[in-house]
Structure 1
Amino acid sequence: MSDRETIAVYDARAQDYADRFGTDAPGGALRRFMDLLPEGGRVLDLGCGPGHSAAHLAQAGFVVDATDASAGMARLAAAQPGVSARQARFEDLTATALYDGIWANFALLHAPRDQMDGHLAAIATALRLRGVLHIGMKTGDGTARDPIGRRYTYYTPDDLRSRLDRAGFDIVGEETGSDTGLAGTNDPWIILRARLRG
């Protein structure tokens, strides 16, 4: 993510976001992701926000790296026990066969559409054989800014599934729903869990 306005919103609202969306226990989607990982595996929280998911992963015994384009978010994540966090954009992912899983939970929706296939290719390269990707995205069409200025790129479920297939992933789990986020709007979403083909 390189959209300055979006990053500025997260920098300004980092603590507010952390206070609103922090949890004491991992949610169902995170538990289902963890169930697909090898015990003690290495995981990247890509677009980690304040690091709540990264902290739950670390508490569960995984080795956790976390990155976020927002310096404010990365600072909060780095304060989580057991989490190695740093400021980095999606395009800074250059690892090869390093991770057993990558958790990209409602983060890649901030990337421009013409960069998505490249990001998915980099994720595939960063995963070990049969590694697992969790990706959460808002569904719809086009690109727009929300009421507080964040830029979103929306995908139909079929488009997202096709992109994952082209990147070398098999879908192994899916959920859909809608929730109210930081901007106060209720938006539909899809979560896909996908395993890199061996």
Structure 2
Amino acid sequence: MSNKTLSYYNQNAQSFSDSTLHVDMSALYSEFLPLIPKHGHILDAGCGSARDAAYFKQQGFTVSAFDASTELAKIASTHLQQPVAVKTFQQLDCSNQYDGIWCCASLLHVPKNELPQVFLNLQHALKPNGVLYVSFKYGDSEREHNGREFTDLNEEGLTALITQHTELKIIKQWQSVDQRPERESEVWLNALIKAVPVL
């Protein structure tokens, strides 16, 4: 995440958290959670307000979370009632740890040329047959908008990225519209990706 984007989130942490906390995510949860073992360990990567991590915790999953923004991590820790780490996707350095990793509207701030390494970090962090959920704003450009930098992806762009990783396999891609009020015109690319160990 660029310094510009990071400072945006640190300066607007409370208003960003407030605007996202009560968005209805049930349609996405229903795609992801059935693929995770009961009481499995889920990492909410780039967790923002920890809205999703808190829901997963309520459903009986073991949850870990991190965010690159110090200020958002503080808010998220309070909401989740457990520590939220301050780190970036580039700093994710563990192996064979999570049954699922949830990257909801968070990877979109990683510069496109850094995404291959970031997907490798995510692949390593997943257990064999673990599942990764990702979402990007729909498109094929890198752009700046309202003080933040975005990497937009479409199906072709994401497929090209994932095929670089022998152990990652896309199991589903679909488009959805933004659930926030007045944002219905924004289209998102969603994908479920599985870590399939090469024998």
Is TM > 0.5 for Structure 1 vs Structure 2? Answer: yes
2:160 matched to 1:129? no
Q: For residues 144 and 174 of structure 1, what CA distance do their matches in structure 2 show?
A: 23
- Give the fraction of aligned pairs with identical amino acids, expressed as a percent: 27
2:25 matched to 1:22? no
Q: 1:171 is paired with a residue of what secondary structure?
A: strand
Q: For residues 52 and 40 of structure 1, what CA distance do their matches in structure 2 show?
A: 18
Q: 2:190 is paired with a residue of what secondary structure?
A: strand
Shift of 1:8: 1.1
Q: For residues 48 and 182 of structure 1, what CA distance do their matches in structure 2 show?
A: 21
Q: 1:166 is paired with a residue of what secondary structure?
A: coil
Shift of 1:157: 1.2
Which residue of structure 2 lines up, in the alignment, with residue 161 of structure 1? Answer: 159
TM-score, normalization by structure 1: 0.91
Q: How does 1:37-48 map to 2 (within 5 A)?
A: 37-48=36-47
Q: Measured at CA, do residues 143 and 161 of structure 1 come closer, stay the same or move farther in structure 2, by a change above 3 Å?
A: same
Deviates more, 1:129-138 or 1:156-165: 156-165
- 8 Å CA contact 2:50–2:80 kept in 1: the answer is no
- 8 Å CA contact 2:133–2:193 kept in 1: the answer is yes
Q: How does 1:95-134 map to 2 (within 5 A)?
A: 95-134=94-133
Which residue of structure 2 lines up, in the alignment, with residue 59 of structure 1? Answer: 58
Q: For residues 11 and 182 of structure 2, what CA distance do their matches in structure 1 show?
A: 13
Gaps of 5+ in 1: none
What residue identity is the alignment partner of 1:6?
T
Deviations 1:40-80 (A, max 9, x none): 11111111001000100111111111111111111111112
Q: For residues 188 and 161 of structure 2, what CA distance do their matches in structure 1 show?
A: 17
Gaps of 5+ in 2: none
What residue identity is the alignment partner of 1:15?
Q
TM-score, normalization by structure 2: 0.90
**Aligned residues, how many?**
196
Which residue of structure 2 lines up, in the alignment, with residue 68 of structure 1? Answer: 67
Q: 1:115 is paired with a residue of what secondary structure?
A: helix
Q: 1:141 is paired with a residue of what secondary structure?
A: coil
2:161 matched to 1:150? no
Q: For residues 4 and 186 of structure 1, what CA distance do their matches in structure 2 show?
A: 28
